[in-house]
């Protein structure tokens, strides 16, 4: 329910309202749902990055990419690439480190302008 509510807020452009619901959705998933948790965490990272919260977005993206090792999910890979691309556009040490860490975990940024 929280993830669906967050999706609605994202679709209506209300990123700040979506973030608490995404956080809750991530927290409520148990260890048996590792694929969903990685996907939800990647979505949270993407929304946080778009909302300007680079530090938390990078932490969530790296956690998602770490958890996703060995998983095959096009949606998850696309979300993580989106976060890497958004981070690549931010000129801070933290964002550059995030892009490098994601790259080391197998996530590459899309070319600029293709997000």
The model's pLDDT over 81-110, given as tens digits with 9 standing for 90+, comes to 999 999 999 999 999 999 999 999 888 776
Q: Summarize pLDDT for 43-94 with one digit per residue, the tens.
A: 999 999 999 999 999 999 999 999 888 787 888 889 999 999 999 999 999 9
pTM above 0.75, yes or no: yes
Structure tokens at 60: 């969530």
Distance separating alpha carbons of residues 87 and 81, to the nearest angstrom:
10
| Residue whose tokens read 């932490």 | 59
Would you say 87 and 95 are in contact if contact means Cβ atoms under 8 Å apart? Answer: yes
Would you say 95 and 88 are in contact if contact means Cβ atoms under 8 Å apart? Answer: yes
- Any alpha helices (H) in 12-104, and if so which ranges? 15-28, 34-50, 54-67, 74-88, 93-104
Distance separating alpha carbons of residues 16 and 105, to the nearest angstrom:
28
């Amino acid at each position: 329910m929280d993830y669906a509510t967050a999706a609605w807020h994202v679709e209506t452009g209300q990123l700040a309202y979506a973030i608490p619901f995404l956080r809750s959705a991530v927290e409520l998933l148990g260890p048996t749902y590792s694929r969903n948790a990685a996907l939800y965490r990647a979505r949270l990272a993407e929304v946080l990055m778009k909302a300007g919260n680079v530090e938390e977005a990078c932490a969530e993206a790296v956690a998602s990419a770490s958890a996703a090792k060995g998983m095959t999910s096009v949606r998850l890979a696309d979300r993580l690439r989106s976060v890497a691309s958004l981070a690549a556009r931010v000129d801070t040490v933290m964002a550059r480190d995030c892009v490098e860490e994601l790259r080391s975990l197998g996530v590459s940024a899309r070319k600029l302008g293709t997000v």
